[in-house]
């Protein structure tokens, strides 16, 4: 018989830096997850992506065991990283704060491809470009 998922928890944690302290501990502690074990597993799985924010889906089963699935970093995080800005525009596309090259856009799209609803890299690039423009970051033609 398959295990039944009792709860699904979504978190965004810096790669390799999960600790039992808040916010991780305050979310996972009440769920009955062994914090030290989770932090060790997460940090080992993400040590090659240091500096990135990694979304993680945690599935808690009825026998108090759990699994977690790592996702790709958020598109906005990757766009800010490649554009070398701290934050996007407060006024959206009306105020330009940086510019991304087509090559950078392609790299971001290739990174995000597993989590995007796109069949090819061109469609993924359009999705990422839309996010970038809404953040006030232009795309070089």
Give every strand in the sheet of 66-70, ordered side by side: 5-14, 53-61, 66-70
The number of residues in the chain equals 141
Q: How many CB atoms lie within 10 A of CB 36?
A: 10
Query: What is the CATH architecture of 5-70?
Result: 2-Layer Sandwich (3.30)
Please report, for the chain, the start and end positions of each structural domain, with discontinuous segments joined by +: 5-70, 75-139
What are the pLDDT digits (tens) for 98-129?
888 899 999 999 998 988 888 899 999 999 99
Residue among 10, 113, 101, 97 at smallest CA distance from 53 = 10
What are the pLDDT digits (tens) for 78-92?
988 888 888 877 887
CATH superfamily of 75-139: Ribosomal protein L11/L12, C-terminal domain (1.10.10.250)
The predicted model scores a pTM of 0.81
What are the pLDDT digits (tens) for 55-64?
999 998 888 8
Q: Give the three-state DSSP class for 25.
A: helix
Strand runs labelled E in 1-141: 5-14, 53-61, 66-70, 98-100, 137-139
Strand runs labelled E in 21-107: 53-61, 66-70, 98-100
Residues facing 97 on adjacent strands: none
CB 104 within 8 A of CB 82: yes
């Amino acid at each position: 018989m398959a295990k039944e998922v009792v709860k699904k928890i979504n978190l965004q944690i810096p790669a390799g830096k999960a600790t039992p302290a808040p916010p991780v501990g305050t979310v996972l502690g009440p769920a009955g997850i062994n914090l030290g074990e989770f932090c060790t597993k997460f940090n080992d799985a993400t040590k090659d992506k240091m500096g990135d924010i990694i979304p993680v889906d945690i599935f808690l089963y009825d026998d108090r065991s759990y699994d977690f699935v790592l996702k790709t970093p958020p598109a906005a995080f990757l766009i800010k990283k490649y554009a070398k800005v701290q934050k996007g525009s407060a006024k959206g596309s009306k105020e330009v704060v940086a510019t991304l090259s087509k090559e950078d856009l392609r790299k971001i799209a290739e990174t995000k491809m597993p989590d995007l609803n796109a069949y090819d890299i061109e469609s993924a690039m359009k999705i990422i470009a839309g996010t970038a423009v809404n953040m006030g970051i232009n795309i070089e033609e």
